[in-house]
Chain A
């Protein structure tokens, strides 16, 4: 009986468009709206920007974003990117950025290894 109900709900959501997983996840991103966030993508890129919007599949709108490129030899390089829509499939991690702690960092002297891409 319950299984039938879930099947009905699934059918309705499918007709509406892309799959709609967890509303719980969306509630977490709602808290970060209009805050500066740090996104790690599946290819190991680190992108910092203001979260302007998101949806159930974690597609994200980032405003005034820039990519932080880490290297073991030179300091951190910040590449300005502008307005981005990042597809949810490519997002590994989203985290809130502590702006005070970030301002205290001296990025030009920070060295580190780059992240490896996600392997499935």
Chain B
């Protein structure tokens, strides 16, 4: 399972984010992207030493400043089978070692989860 897919599944759930500078942000995950940049809602920020607190209605955290995220345990059960199948195809075909062997047009194709069940090899299709 990819960490970023787990994070995507955790949208809407409360979580704890510790930054590299030691500050902790406790809030509900609104959204995340491929660089782990996240937006949180109803956040309580605690300073590194635990002596100062801020209440922030909405905040954006840059992915590269994150040390770790603590996610509720039920989220891992929510990542469903279809997402795992899609990941498996993505992992093989997106690797730079393989992708340059695909036809040039294939580089902007995306995995279409529905088609992987129809028996097409790799489940790739053209997306506008």
Contacts and interface: CB of A to CB of B under 8 A. Distances in A.
Given A84-B70, A85-B69, A87-B66, A16 B3 contact: no
Interface in A61-86: 61, 63, 81-86
Interface stretch (A47-55, A95-103, A104-112): A47-55
A54 B2 CA distance: 6
Contact of A59 (B4, B73, B75): B4
A113 to B, nearest CB: 21
Interface stretch (B49-57, B91-99, B113-121): B91-99
Contacts of B12: none
A85 B7 contact: yes
Contact of B1 (A52, A87, A89): A52
Contact of A86 (B4, B34, B68): B68
Interface of B: 1-7, 20, 34-36, 63-64, 66-73, 75-76, 94-97, 99-100, 107
Considering residues A16, A23, A52, A61, which has the most beta carbons from chain B within 10 angstroms of its beta carbon?
A61
A89 B68 CA distance: 10
Contacts of A119: none
B67 A90 contact: yes
A60 B1 CA distance: 10
A41 B67 CA distance: 9
A12 B99 CA distance: 9
Interface of A: 5, 8-10, 12-13, 16-18, 20, 23, 41, 43, 52-55, 59-61, 63, 81-87, 89-90
Given A53-B3, A53-B6, A89-B64, A12 B100 contact: yes
Can you list the 8 inter-chain pairs with the closest CB atoms, starting with the nearest? A53-B1, A17-B34, A59-B3, A85-B69, A9-B96, A86-B68, A83-B71, A83-B73
Contact of B95 (A23, A54, A60, A86): A23
Considering residues B34, B67, B100, which has the most beta carbons from chain A within 10 angstroms of its beta carbon?
B67
Given A52-B1, A61-B1, A90 B96 contact: no
A17 B90 CA distance: 13
A8 B107 CA distance: 11
A115 B115 CA distance: 50
Nearest to A90: B67
26 contacts: A8-B100, A12-B96, A12-B99, A12-B100, A13-B96, A23-B95, A41-B67, A43-B67, A55-B2, A55-B4, A61-B1, A61-B3, A61-B6, A63-B73, A82-B70, A83-B71, A83-B72, A83-B75, A83-B76, A84-B70, A85-B7, A85-B68, A87-B36, A87-B67, A89-B64, A90-B67
